[in-house]
Amino acid sequence: MSQELPSSSPVASAAGTPRTYTCSWCGLTSGGADLSCPACGAAVDVRSVVSKSGWTALPGRRDMAKLQFGSSYCQIEGTYVPVADMNLAAGDSVYFTHHVLLWKDPQVAVTSMGLKGAWKRMLAGMPLIMTQAAGPGHIAFSRDFPGELISLPLQPGQTVDVREHLFMVATSAVTYDWFQSNIWFTTKSGDETETHYPLGMYLDRFVAPAAPGLLLLHAGGNVFVRRLEPGQTILVKPTAFLFKDTTVSMRLHIERPAGTWRSWRSWGDRYFWLRLHGPGRVAVQSAFEPFEDNGRDISSHSGATQRQW
């Protein structure tokens, strides 16, 4: 008798046995006839890579993997700095921050989106412009840093909170908003007070209110995800934080290693952490910007917890 194959093996479908495949990344159940999940592009025949501490690596993606949204599709090309190459059908549209545009067909029209209060948000000194592209036609996006492209298909009602400036492109079914991260502290030098935002001043929030949508992010280096149980906490480097479910709450945590004291004003006498409190999914990136700490005394903060070892 032939060996029994697990129902999730793509070989099983080749043998003609009716079966379904549930993607380990996005949870979509598909026929599994393709080599990659049609909703998120993750390869179907790879095992989840989970570290002993519980972080799951972003699932492997075949070069040129295709994912579908509405009647359009997106092909993800390249491995170091991946490109999202969209083939937009008539009637479908996507929006993006204008600096990620790589190339487009001349007939694809791009227009800027009116955003309430958008003047408050700046990216590297430039106003953050949300730009919209409507089908039919091809348009492609990439960012300027080696890393991974994360596809987050959002089911109706699903919400995700994302660190600012990681957003690459989303379909028009996804609405975009932002809120104050409320992770900050101030330092004082004489009369001068400086406010620091280890996580950035704002977080982006993406919701698919009615119809399913697709959200693409680009992270630096490699991406790791874990699911926190209710009440479970973990400390992550604030600049490494990528995204979280809205059920996960955050708080600043300041740690001082043993052998240092408050009068020891130099870098390295304290660590800033982001404490993430479950339940829900959290993700980190392995390449992150350094957080500049001037080492001065903290005069106030956003309700941070502290620990002196």
Partner 1 sequence: MTDPHLPPPLSPDAPLVRLECQWCKSMNEPGALACRTCGAPLDVKDMVSDSGWREAPRIRDMTEIQFGASTCQVEGEIVPVAEINLGAADSVFFEHHVLLWKDDTTRMSVLPLTGGVKRALAGMPFVISVAHGPGRVAFSRDATGELVVLPLHPGQELDVREHAFLLSSHTIDYTFIRIKGLRNILFGGNGMFMDRFITTSAPGLLVLHGYGNVFERTLKPGESLQVEPGAFLYKDASVTMDVEPVKLTSGFFGGTSMNLARMTGPGRVGIQSMYVHHTTD
Interface with partner 1 (CB under 8 A): 63-64, 66, 75, 77-83, 85, 87, 98-99, 101-106, 110-114, 118, 126-127, 129, 131, 138, 140, 142-146
Q: For residue 14, how many C-alpha atoms fall within 13 Å in the half-sphere facing its CB? A: 8
**Identity of the residue, 70 or 280, whose beta carbon is nearer to partner 1 in the bound complex:** 70
At closest approach, how far in Å is the CB of 222 from partner 1? 13
Q: Considering only CA atoms, which of 181, 100, 201 is closest in space to residue 147?
A: 100
At closest approach, how far in Å is the CB of 301 from partner 1? 33
Dist. CA 112–CA 159, nearest whole Å: 24
Instruction: Evaluate whether 233 touches 282 at the Cβ level (below 8 Å).
Output: no
Q: What is the 3-state secondary structure (H, E, C) of 25-61?
A: CCCCEECCCCCECCCCCCECCCCCCECCCCCEECCCC
Q: Considering only CA atoms, which of 115, 118, 112 is closest in space to residue 131?
A: 112
Instruction: Evaluate whether 59 touches 71 at the Cβ level (below 8 Å).
Output: no
**Identity of the residue, 4 or 144, whose beta carbon is nearer to partner 1 in the bound complex:** 144
Q: Considering only CA atoms, which of 293, 251, 283 is closest in space to residue 166?
A: 283
At closest approach, how far in Å is the CB of 129 from partner 1? 6
At closest approach, how far in Å is the CB of 46 from partner 1? 18
**Identity of the residue, 142 or 181, whose beta carbon is nearer to partner 1 in the bound complex:** 142
**Identity of the residue, 140 or 248, whose beta carbon is nearer to partner 1 in the bound complex:** 140
At closest approach, how far in Å is the CB of 50 from partner 1? 24
**Identity of the residue, 66 or 281, whose beta carbon is nearer to partner 1 in the bound complex:** 66
**Identity of the residue, 11 or 113, whose beta carbon is nearer to partner 1 in the bound complex:** 113
Dist. CA 21–CA 30, nearest whole Å: 5
At closest approach, how far in Å is the CB of 137 from partner 1? 10
**Identity of the residue, 75 or 232, whose beta carbon is nearer to partner 1 in the bound complex:** 75
**Identity of the residue, 79 or 180, whose beta carbon is nearer to partner 1 in the bound complex:** 79
Label residue 221 left, alpha or beta by phi (over 0 means left) and psi (-120 to 50 means alpha).
left
Residue type at position 171? T
Alpha-carbon distances, residue 32 vs 7, 8, 18, 62 (angstroms): 10, 8, 10, 15
Dist. CA 75–CA 90, nearest whole Å: 17
- What torsion, rounded to 10 degrees, do the Cα atoms 257, 54, 68, 114 define? -20
